[in-house]
Chains A and B, each alone.
Chain A
Amino acid sequence: MTREEIVELFARRDAAINEQDLEGLTALFAEDAVVESPLGGTHQGRAAIGAVFKAFFDAFSDATIATDDLIIDGDRVVQVYTLSGTDTGGMMGMAPSGKPAQLPIVVVARVADGLITHERRIYDFTGMLVQIGVLKAKPA
């Protein structure tokens, strides 16, 4: 893929997340794509990837992302974006807290033939759970 094609792919990924377009979003992944996510664990294939995105959209119905950086090196991509959203739907079996979260998220990806083939998400997952009230943290 050319650099321009990769930039366009990730612009479509951003738009699909911001529009909560589950079908459009999963179509950006290869049929056998693997995603490693703190929220969903390691999962493979469009159906599983879509199910994890749906759980996220159900939890954060107003979630938006804004890309800060996109670093492209051949078929490898690192995208950094800021996620903003409110726990309106509940997460991990908990009732919705109504609390907002805002945090940077890194996506480490590989691409081929116009699609994402591997995606790994790295961020302060525990901090996010504290922000939305799923976890309570205090000094030891």
Chain B
Amino acid sequence: MTRDEIAAMFARREEAFEEMDAEALAADYADDAVIESPTAGTHQGPAAAAQALDAVFHAFADMTNRTESLLIDGNHVAQVLTLEGTNLGGLMGLPASGRHFRVPAVFLYELRGDKIVRERRIFDFTGMLVQIGVLKARPA
């Protein structure tokens, strides 16, 4: 893919995320794509990706994913973004807390052709769980 094609792909993905369209987002993954997510663990392929995204969209019905910068280096992409949402649907077997979170994040991608073959998401996941009330943290 050209640089412009990759930029267009990620602009389209941001729109799909805003619309919480898990199927459209999942269609960008190759069958053997490996996704490393703090929320869903390591999972593989479009069906697992759709399931993990659906779980996130169910938990955070007002979720936003605002891209601050997109770095494109050949077939490698780094997306720097802010994740924000309210725990309206419950997470990890716990009832909805109604609490809001906001964290900076970096999602890293490797592409093959027009598909994502690897994605790794890095952010303060433990801090997010504390913000939404799934975890309680206190000084030791």
Contact = CB atoms under 8 A, between A and B. Distances in A.
Contact of A126 (B105, B108, B124, B140): B124
Contacts of A138: 135-136
Contacts of A38: 124
Interface size class of A (residues with CB under 8 A): 20 to 34
Contacts of A130: 126, 137
B1 interface: no
Nearest to B136: A140
Interface string A124-140: 11110110011111111
B134 interface: yes
Nearest to B105: A122
Contacts of B125: 124, 127
Contacts of A106: 106, 122
B127 A78 contact: no
A139 B108 CA distance: 29
Mostly, the B contact residues are strand
Interface in B42-83: 69, 71-73, 76-78, 80
Contacts, number: 100
A129 to B, nearest CB: 8
Interface residues of B, number: 32
A64 B108 CA distance: 22
Given A135-B138, A136-B140, A80 B124 contact: no
A73 B127 contact: no
B130 interface: yes
Contact of A137 (B76, B104, B126): B126
Given A125-B127, A137-B126, 8 more contacts: A38-B124, A73-B72, A73-B78, A78-B71, A78-B106, A137-B130, A139-B94, A140-B97
